[in-house]
Amino acid sequence: MSLEELISKLGIGKKEVIYLSITPGVGLELIQLNVQTKTVKNYGYKPLHYNESLRELADLESFKTALTELFTELKISMRCDVVLNIPMVLLGSRELPILLADEAVTEALTSEVEQSYIFKRYEPVVSWVDVTNTATSGENRKLFYSAIQKNVIDDIKNIMQELGMSLADIHLSMFSVIRALMYSGFLEKQTKDGVTWNLMLISSNGYSITSMVGKNVVDYYEEPLAIKSFDGEELYSAMNASAQIALMSYPANYLVVVSETDLLSAELLINRLQFDGTVSCYENNEFKKGNLIDVDYQVLEDDAHKISLEAIGNVVTSLIPLSLDFNFMGGSAGKAKEDDPDTPIHVVLGNFELDISQNGARNVALLFAVVLLIPFLLLFLALPLVNKQKQAQLEDVKSKLEQTKQQIKTLETEQDKYEDFDVNNEVKKAVANNRTKVMSYIALGESVPKDLYLTYFVAQGDGKIDIKGQAATVQDVSLFYSNVKDSMINVPLRLQKLEMNSKSLDSAVSGAKDTKTGYSFEITNMSGSDAPVSQGSQENENANNETKPAADGNSNNVLNEDMLNKPLLNFGKGN
């Protein structure tokens, strides 16, 4: 279902409300009013002939043409609701027994209406309003009634439906005139409570007198007069003579004369009337000197001069309530519109206007109640789910918090283990050990004699040193040992081993000098368990034990020839 369909079912007048008036002497008028500024914001009219004798449109096809042209020129959509003002056909009053039912009242009034010459040919649509003063007791009640030809309403309604419009309501010209004068402030003094005044409305067929007290209609009188048959001064004399007799029956404080025919000036007439009270007039014809209310700049001046009281009063009906408000569109003719739940109420919200019925207002209220209730209902249903989800998130956060606390505790325990760790001491130790190694390399480089060869050297991180080598003489070993000790003062070195290397005992005895033979030695500060064993040295030593037995019978004290020829490290100075 679309939004427009939904709004329509709720009874809201989503379609624009357009106000039309069939005004004799002007034609078909369309008016749009700015309620806040009391100015006419849009207006247009088309000439249209109205038969005032028969109180009906002279040509329905002309009405359709005028209607189409008017909407087209003013650029207004024909998809709208129309509130139509028409000339009043019949108005009367009667007293009937208070115990008479509404259906019987309608039937009695219809029978009386049918006596009029207008309704001898056409079926009437009758509407009546009870104006009985409830403060007074009596057996009868006073009723005002009005009637319109049924065929006229049906014809107008059918034409509008063909064009896409909808006839929403019908107003009567006399009441529209009163509303327009009240809206403009023209009747400010007359419409005060308790003030009596008469409205004399002159048309081309005669005149009517409406007797009022404040805003309430008290009586109505209509006098036919062939105004068109009189010329000039003769017309004013005839009107004065006829009105003078009628006004004597309706004494009042004020008299307001409104002329709707171009044949007679209301201003000239009131100068002749003899009336004991205040007399004022308004020209609703070509004698009009100004506009009743202001108009916007887009309304042409010539068009603004044509704006009638009926057109203005029609558009302000909902703003100016009167005691008589007939209903010709509702189903029950005997009930006033304010009692009809389907009667539209005109609502103005800023620049936005709409008509909404009482039932529609109730539906809207229910809709808003439902719309407001739905979020609360959804919130009520969703709250437990959200609460459960948030609780699970809270538990997860608590679990992660416990894990974090455990990690912090573990880190604190690990840190406690290293509280005795002294960085400065460790650095000093590392520097000292490295210095020992450096000094040992320097000592080796500066202390090796000419005929001394190093075959093995180890310097460990904890200051342990082990030096192995060969020399030609014992003096060379002694000199090397002394030099190393002098260079490495803080290192407690000792001569761990000094052994002679000779091919035979005979060569040693003869004293022959052989540079390839001599003495092997080991200088160290290591204990026996600390001293590492070189794989190459171990293999050479095993080979010597197997192939070269020593002269003294101790194979562990003699190195083979290959080992002598291939030292591991040669720090000798050479020839």
- Tell me if 200 sits within 8 A of 209, measured CB to CB: yes
Q: d(Cα 147, Cα 326) in Å, to the nearest integer?
A: 9
CA max distance for the chain: 191
Neighbours of 399 (CB within 10 A): 10
The angle at the Cα of 316, spanning 310 to 321, to the nearest 5 degrees, equals 105
Q: d(Cα 440, Cα 493) in Å, to the nearest integer?
A: 11
User: If phi over 0 gives left and psi between -120 and 50 gives alpha, with beta otherwise, what is residue 540?
Assistant: alpha
DSSP calls for 346-388: EEEETTEEEEEEHHHHHHHHHHHHHHHHHHHHHHHHHHHHHHH
What pLDDT is stored for residue 558 in this prediction? 35
Beta bridge partners of 372: none
- pLDDT tens profile 11-24: 454 578 999 999 99
With CA atoms as reference, report the closest residue to 345 among 335, 357, 353, 336: 357
What pLDDT is stored for residue 5 in this prediction? 45
Per the listing, tokens 């460990």 go with 460
Contacts of 316 (CB under 8 A, 6+ apart): 33, 35, 179, 180, 183
Q: How remote is the C-alpha of 150 from its chain's centroid?
A: 50
Sorted by where each begins, the domain ranges of the chain are: 190-291, 426-565
10, 380, 384 from 375: Cα distances, Å: 21, 8, 15
R_g over Cα of the chain: 65
What pLDDT is stored for residue 376 in this prediction? 75
How far apart are the two ends of the chain, measured CA to CA in Å? 117
With CA atoms as reference, report the closest residue to 94 among 43, 129, 64: 129
Regions of the chain with pLDDT less than 50: 1-6, 8-11, 13, 331-343, 504-505, 515, 534-575
Sheet holding 465-471, edge to edge: 452-459, 465-471, 518-524, 494-501
What pLDDT is stored for residue 187 in this prediction? 92
What pLDDT is stored for residue 563 in this prediction? 38
Q: d(Cα 331, Cα 236) in Å, to the nearest integer?
A: 44
Q: d(Cα 231, Cα 9) in Å, to the nearest integer?
A: 58
Q: d(Cα 575, Cα 570) in Å, to the nearest integer?
A: 13
pTM tops 0.85, yes or no: no
- Tell me if 470 sits within 8 A of 519, measured CB to CB: yes
User: If phi over 0 gives left and psi between -120 and 50 gives alpha, with beta otherwise, what is residue 471?
Assistant: beta
Residue type, 510: S
Q: d(Cα 217, Cα 191) in Å, to the nearest integer?
A: 11
Give the 3-state secondary structure percentages of the chain, helix then strand then coil, rounded to 5: 40, 25, 35
With CA atoms as reference, report the closest residue to 210 among 178, 183, 253: 178
Q: DSSP state, 12?
A: B
What pLDDT is stored for residue 554 in this prediction? 37
Contacts of 281 (CB under 8 A, 6+ apart): 256, 257, 258, 259, 266, 267, 269, 270
Per the listing, tokens 């437990």 go with 384
Q: DSSP state, 306?
A: T
- How is domain 190-291 classified at the CATH fold level? Nucleotidyltransferase; domain 5 (3.30.420)
What pLDDT is stored for residue 565 in this prediction? 40
Residue type, 115: Q
DSSP calls for 420-467: T--HHHHHHHHHHHHHHHHHHHHHHHHH--TTEEEEEEEE-TTS-EEE
- Tell me if 252 sits within 8 A of 196, measured CB to CB: yes
Per the listing, tokens 């019978």 go with 553
Q: What SS3 state is found at 254?
A: strand
What pLDDT is stored for residue 309 in this prediction? 93
Per the listing, tokens 């006073």 go with 142
- Tell me if 458 sits within 8 A of 532, measured CB to CB: yes
Is 193 exposed, middle or buried (CB count within 10 Å of its CB: 0-12, 13-18, 19+)?
A: exposed
User: If phi over 0 gives left and psi between -120 and 50 gives alpha, with beta otherwise, what is residue 511?
Assistant: left
Q: d(Cα 12, Cα 338) in Å, to the nearest integer?
A: 17
